[in-house]
Structure 1
């Protein structure tokens, strides 16, 4: 399984640190050329590899950590996203009328034709994502939602590999509503820092 993080701002770098902590290779990309990202990627760890956007989206699993408005440009990178898993770690701070009455994740999913689309890793601020998720005798929770259970399963596995405790919230229009941020509307679980104790 190959992984890429598209977007290398605060959230993208935080996710890269989570991969580096577990020595899991991950490509990182943004609108900037790989050479511009390479120093920061190398500083995070040897398993974090700066690539062009075109090369990064060849990965099996792509985590979207771009500003919400840029997701369409990422989606244009492939004519079809069949066989790909896309993890939406974005928060849409845009007016509601721009989303056709949909939750942000359901709206963005339309651009990634054929992808297995999962909302996840979006409810924690970057500093929390970057920190070791093993705390207080448990694991920091990440919420996952998606319309395809088969798509959520490998993302659960990844979350556990990274040290988080995945919690499934159901479909995008159900679970997504609990963790979405758009305009001035905040889901009840957005920015909640919860822990799951070891059993």
Structure 2
């Protein structure tokens, strides 16, 4: 089990379900959102004492920080952060825009049926863009490739649910592997960030949304 402190920035589907997984295993973490700790009171009551609510600044001071917010919120969120100083930042994001369900679907958007639209990053993969937003951090891509609703079920079909991760720093990846394994997943290293990031990136990565189980 990892001995690192853990922060989760974002309490939507990804952040809340990762917190649930950690709580199931008794792993401590601080979760935060833009609305403040008081808005998380009922969630904290649900998941139990190993998860506490904090400010974004408090969550960002952890040894390992999961960024679990929508892509369009990243620049504003990360632009105000203090120096990362070599701490580990898990990029759990994907370059998609969530569409207003009340607006007619764009027939040219192949993802309209799922309520999302791919964001054009000018030929870059999302973790390459993310990496530039967190100077001084050791970035590991993880926890982004599956439907967030399956994350709390780490055991499925008689085996462990697979989580991919990638990054350029060996020690940072080792810490993230420990965290994924402590949560109950079977962790699979996809290599360097420029190799693994595009493989697992939603919506068009070849491993995106593929639900592997290690039997």
TM-score of the superposition, structure 1-length normalised? 0.91
1:173 aligned counterpart, secondary structure: helix
Task: State yes or no: 1:112 paired with 2:134.
Answer: yes
Cross-structure match for 1:73: 76
Give the CA deviation at 1:47. Answer: 1.1
1:166 aligned counterpart, secondary structure: strand
1:145 aligned counterpart, secondary structure: strand
Cross-structure match for 2:206: 188
Cross-structure match for 2:66: 63
Q: Structure 2 CA distance, aligned partners of 1:96 and 1:57?
A: 26
1:110 aligned counterpart, secondary structure: helix
> Which consecutive unaligned segments of at least 5 residues does structure 1 have?
none
Instruction: Choose from 80, 83, 95 the match for 1:92.
Output: 95
Q: Structure 2 CA distance, aligned partners of 1:17 and 1:154?
A: 20
Instruction: Choose from 184, 191, 197 the match for 1:176.
Output: 197
Task: State yes or no: 1:83 paired with 2:86.
Answer: yes
1:130 aligned counterpart, secondary structure: coil
TM-score of the superposition, structure 2-length normalised? 0.84
Q: Structure 2 CA distance, aligned partners of 1:45 and 1:74?
A: 27
Give the CA deviation at 1:196. Answer: 1.2
Call closer, same or farther: CA 1:6–1:130 in 2, change over 3 Å.
same
Q: Structure 1 CA distance, aligned partners of 2:11 and 2:180?
A: 19
Task: State yes or no: 1:43 paired with 2:46.
Answer: yes
> Which consecutive unaligned segments of at least 5 residues does structure 2 have?
98-117
Give the CA deviation at 1:38. Answer: 1.8
- Cα-Cα RMSD: 1.5
Give the CA deviation at 1:41. Answer: 2.1
**Is the 1:18–1:130 Cα contact (8 Å) retained in structure 2?**
yes
Length, aligned pairs only: 192
Cross-structure match for 1:143: 164
**Is the 1:60–1:83 Cα contact (8 Å) retained in structure 2?**
no
Q: Structure 2 CA distance, aligned partners of 1:79 and 1:28?
A: 18
